[in-house]
Chains A and B, each alone.
Chain A
Amino acid sequence: DAGITQSPRYKITETGRQVTLMCHQTWSHSYMFWYRQDLGHGLRLIYYSAAADITDKGEVPDGYVVSRSKTENFPLTLESATRSQTSVYFCASSNTGDADTQYFGPGTRLTVL
């Protein structure tokens, strides 16, 4: 299917465990983004990538790791999950970065116990 997909859609894990959230897009967009959405904070950028093998920090990168070996995939890893990382995570992509519309995935709801 064309578009941007995220997996899993829901995840429950325990404090200290490693978790990887997957994001896949079929448009061959250059840019990909990871956001978290929390009540009271709105959407905040975690990391973004301008191309394969190029990543950069956003507003709240601590505790997260990203990689982008292929243009279409942009996984987000929580190396040692904490309760404060309980959130809804959205992946997005765009063709030319901020000058262009961003297209969002459906989100992953992560709960850290």
Chain B
Amino acid sequence: KQEVTQIPAALSVPEGENLVLNCSFTDSAIYNLQWFRQDPGKGLTSLLLIQSSQREQTSGRLNASLDKSSGRSTLYIAASQPGDSATYLCAVSGNTPLVFGKGTRLSVIA
């Protein structure tokens, strides 16, 4: 059974800092990995999708990498801003539909 773990569960950083969020998964037979953002009381918004054949994807200040063989992904956020404060979730798809991690709650302090 696929399990997805995100560490740390919560993170607080000062504005302007570069930061890395981590995601690990137990079964490397995945189709893709997705990173989502969730604001309090809201639904999820897709940030980046990395296909299993890809190593990374970039969107603006966000860069996600995937190392399928080691079962790891990282989300790099450059020059963090208070507006980046949210919960970030990763999810993997494979032989079963999307399996989510429990998320990392990020606070960027002005």
Contacts and interface: CB of A to CB of B under 8 A. Distances in A.
Interface in B41-68: 41-46, 49, 51
Q: How many interface residues does chain A have, given as a range?
A: 20 to 34
Contacts of B28: none
Interface in A89-113: 90, 92, 97-107
Contacts of B103: 42
Given A98-B32, A101-B49, A43 B43 contact: no
A16 interface: no
B42 A101 contact: no
A42 B42 contact: no
Contacts of B45: 104
Contacts of A90: 43-44
B3 to A, nearest CB: 11
Nearest to A48: B97
A63 B80 CA distance: 43
B31 A99 contact: yes
A43 B90 CA distance: 11
A33 B51 CA distance: 20
Contacts of B98: 33, 45, 98, 102
A50 B49 CA distance: 20
Contacts of A98: 31-32, 93-94, 97-98
B43 A102 contact: no
Interface of A: 33, 40-45, 48, 58, 90, 92, 97-107
Interface of B: 31-32, 34, 36, 41-46, 49, 51, 89, 91, 93-94, 97-98, 100-103
26 contacts: A33-B97, A33-B98, A40-B102, A42-B100, A42-B102, A43-B91, A45-B98, A48-B97, A90-B43, A98-B32, A98-B94, A98-B98, A99-B31, A99-B51, A99-B93, A101-B34, A102-B34, A102-B46, A102-B98, A103-B46, A104-B45, A106-B42, A106-B43, A107-B41, A107-B42, A107-B43
